[in-house]
Amino acid sequence: MNPDRRAAIQVDDLTVAYDEHPVLWDVDMEVPAGVLMAIVGPNGAGKSTLIKAILDLVEPAAGRILIHGRSYAESRGIVAYVPQRGSVDWDFPTSVLDVVMMGRYGDLGWFRRPGSRERKLAMEALDKVDMARFAKRQISQLSGGQQQRVFLARALVQDARVYLMDEPFQGVDATTERAIIRVLKELRSQGSTVVAVHHALQTVPEYFDHVMILNVRRIACGPVDEVFTEENLRVAYGGMVPFRAAAAGAADAAISDAPAGAP
């Protein structure tokens, strides 16, 4: 059990707007410590923006966000971030090991360079995602799934208690999907909290224990078996989605496949 009884993440009345156009409207979210939570919702629902607001990367118009009871600036050291794979240029001249060591830059602080300790931690993290043998590889030579695992390893070396991930399963192969879910469950068993933007609705009950259903406003948030209902999803996806929560099978393949190609 996690000794910290406060919610890992507490979001109150969060509103974010770009050019007066609201992306998130009066959103509340409680993430209990030690859970795996998926954030689901249609394209443009504000899922990435919610993650970025928690990380203080976008400025909210209103609202309050606490991580284990404190502001992001105070709790930065216990938060790790996995951005969308497509957000960086993979032709950047650097190696896999080098990218993973970037996860230590925050602890290193100004001017100090990564050394043998950072290299060791990075190798351990790469080992956890089955990428140790690619350590010296130039990052442009990686497949999409391997890139995603490198980003995951970079978050692992941050040695955090709260992990925020923006579409970690987007466009990855089966091997990578298994590796990621194994790591996520391991993090949970160590008492860490993971929040991940997720697209494939049919894998939500299998991979996650909590879910936030979002479409600009909060539709529902809580344990998967309570709130992951057909009705809530219909509200979020505008009734356009033939999703059956009970028999999550072929019918929802259409939804889960559609956004996979989109960035």
Partner 1 sequence: MDLLNDLLFDYTLRTVALGTALLGLASGALGAFAVLRRQSLLGDAVSHAALPGIVLAFMLTGSKELLVLVGGAFTAGWLGSVLVSQITARSRVPGDSALGIVLAVFFGVGLVFLTFVQGRPDAAQAGLDRFLFGQAATLVERDVVVIAALGGAALATLAAFWKEFKLLTFDPEFGASLGFPIHRLDLLLTSILVLAIVTGLQAVGVVLMAALVVAPAAAARQWTDSLGVMVFLSAGFGALAGVSGALASGGTEGLPTGPTIVLAATAIVMISLAFAPRRGLVWSAWRRRRQRGRIRLDTVLADLYALYGQHGSLQYGHPVPVLDAMSDGPGGAAEALEKLAEEGWARQLPDANWVITSEGLVRAEKVLARLGREQDE
Tell me which residue has tokens 């996520």: 184
Q: Between 143 and 226, name the residue whose CB sits nearer to partner 1.
A: 143
Q: Is 91 exposed, middle or buried (0-12, 13-18, 19+ CB in 10 A)?
A: exposed
Q: Which of 17, 61, 108, 235 binds partner 1 (CB under 8 A)?
A: 108
Coil, strand, or helix at residue 58?
Answer: coil
* Binding status of residue 18 toward partner 1 by CB under 8 A: no
| Interface with partner 1 in residues 143-172 (CB under 8 A) | 154
Q: Which range of residues in 82-90, 180-188, 191-199, 222-230 is near partner 1 by CB under 8 A?
A: 82-90
What are the helix (H) ranges across 69-143? 72-75, 96-101, 105-108, 116-128
* Binding status of residue 94 toward partner 1 by CB under 8 A: yes
Q: 68 is written with which tokens?
A: 């284990």
* Binding status of residue 46 toward partner 1 by CB under 8 A: no
| Interface with partner 1 in residues 212-231 (CB under 8 A) | none
Q: Which of 113, 240, 246, 262 binds partner 1 (CB under 8 A)?
A: 113
Residue of 157, 193, 165, 147 whose CA lies nearest to 82? 165
DSSP characters for 130-171? T-GGGTTSBGGGS-HHHHHHHHHHHHHTT--SEEEES-TTTT
* Binding status of residue 178 toward partner 1 by CB under 8 A: no
* Binding status of residue 55 toward partner 1 by CB under 8 A: yes
Q: Between 25 and 72, name the residue whose CB sits nearer to partner 1.
A: 72
Q: Which of 43, 71, 87, 190 binds partner 1 (CB under 8 A)?
A: 87
- Give the shortest CB-226-to-partner 1 separation in angstroms: 31
* Binding status of residue 92 toward partner 1 by CB under 8 A: yes
Tell me which residue has tokens 């939570």: 37
DSSP characters for 195-248? EEE---GGGHHHH-SEEEEEESEEEEEEEHHHH--HHHHHHHTTT-----STT-
Residue numbers of the site for partner 1 (CB under 8 A)?
52, 55-57, 73, 76, 79, 81, 83, 87-89, 92-95, 99, 102, 105-106, 108, 110-114, 138, 140, 154
